[in-house]
Homo-oligomer: A and B are copies of this chain.
Amino acid sequence: MSQAKSRKTLRLGIAGLGTVGAGLVKLIERQAELRLPGRLVVSAVSARSKKRDRGVDISKFRWVDDPVELATADDVDVVVELVGGSDGPAKLTVEAALKAGKAVVTANKALIAEHGIEMAELAERHNAHLLFEAAVGGAIPIVRALRNSLSGMFVNRVSGILNGTCNYILSEMLRTGAAYETVLAEAQRLGYAEADPYLDVSGMDAAHKVLILASIAFGARPDFGEVNVEGVAEIEAMDITLANKFDYRIKLVAEAFRAPNGKEGGGVKCRVAPALVRHDHPLAQINGPLNAVVVEGEPVGRLTFTGPGAGAGPTAAAVMGDLSRLFEGVAMPPLGMPSGDLKPIIAQQEASLDQGCFFIGARLADRSGVFAALTEALAEAGVSIDKLIQDSAGDTGAAPVAIMTHPCPRASVEKALAQVAEMEITVDAPRLIRIETRS
């Protein structure tokens, strides 16, 4: 337990100079104002385009065309990987760095979620640091909190809003009543959504993040194939508006929890899907591009972490937090415990065993008898209605209807909706959304 007496210098190689990379360079230039336990110098940088204007002067850094070459350069102690993507140059760069025994700091959630075990094993074999605070929750220091501070807590559940793009879209659909496509286009204009929004709106990005948290919180092998993923693209403005009349908000909830041993065989369930949360639920208050993570367990109760989940500044600050960790010296297993000790406990939830209360949103055809046919289909499937709103059809020729069910198997609701589809009593595909009944 010797104390570091002198301030150390770490030499960085930065691969990827998008907005986060540029934000990081700016922060490094201001490091005298920060509270780092040592000094950071940039030895070399690598990116796709050398010429792009990034608002920072990179001409003073050595330029390397190939990030893999940068990863193994003699004057680089730490490789900062900001290239992104689960495979390709990002993965090659991280692998090369770890094999050379160099520390890696990355913001790459796809890489850690999809190849986390492989990367962790490499890091452990070569005594290298692999840190990825910036991969989850932007500036919220949740990865290190789970890995270290909360390792004395028996975690039962980690849940949250982990994708700011989806949360912004859902917040705006509630605020303005506009359709998904309209709000998405506006989000793209404002820079809250990518030109290709697939990773975000499909729920994949949130799924990457929650799997990383689950792996650390539960000591579980990350297996991305086992995560149930559903996105926000199917949600209609009418669903959000009518849910709001029931005093609920629709949020894209990412969660991982210990399933009770029993029919589903225990293990950790990991899923991302829209859910209705009551207006006074901690996640209901999280609006716009914010992220939030709720950690629940013994003997603590509930901890909530909220902050900006993306953006150049917050993400660069998270990278800086990891860099400051490197001055402390000793590398820990990247996933919190040695990768060989992680248990293969992440298992897909069997839909047939999924129980709860559900929200159904649909537009009923404007002809007599459809309402009775809908409620009859539900009754026949054993689904009992808790609350129902039917709005006026107006001049659209279709009446928005929203139903909240009493507790029942999801399969029963699906059966009823299949019959509804057969009878052609709705003019759209009804939405089936889980209601979060835990306050």
Contacts and interface: CB of A to CB of B under 8 A. Distances in A.
Interface string A304-315: 111110001110
Given A27-B299, A219-B35, A148 B324 contact: yes
Contact of A316 (B4, B151, B299, B331): B299
Interface stretch (A124-132, A261-269, A405-413, A421-429): A124-132
A-side interface size class:
35 or more
- Determine how many copies of this chain the complex contains: 2
Contacts of A300: 139, 307-308, 313-314, 317
A151 B154 CA distance: 27
A228 to B, nearest CB: 24
Contacts of A316: 152, 299
A2 interface: yes
A79 to B, nearest CB: 13
Interface in A319-358: 319-321, 323-326, 328-333, 336-337
Interface string A152-180: 11100000000000000000000000000
Nearest to A328: B330
B1 A103 contact: yes
Contacts of A129: 1
A294 to B, nearest CB: 9
A300 B139 CA distance: 7
A101 B2 CA distance: 10
Contact of A305 (B282, B305, B329): B305
A34 B316 CA distance: 31
A331 B35 contact: no
A74 interface: no
A296 to B, nearest CB: 10
A301 B312 contact: no
Contact of A301 (B298, B308, B324, B329): B308
B330 A313 contact: no
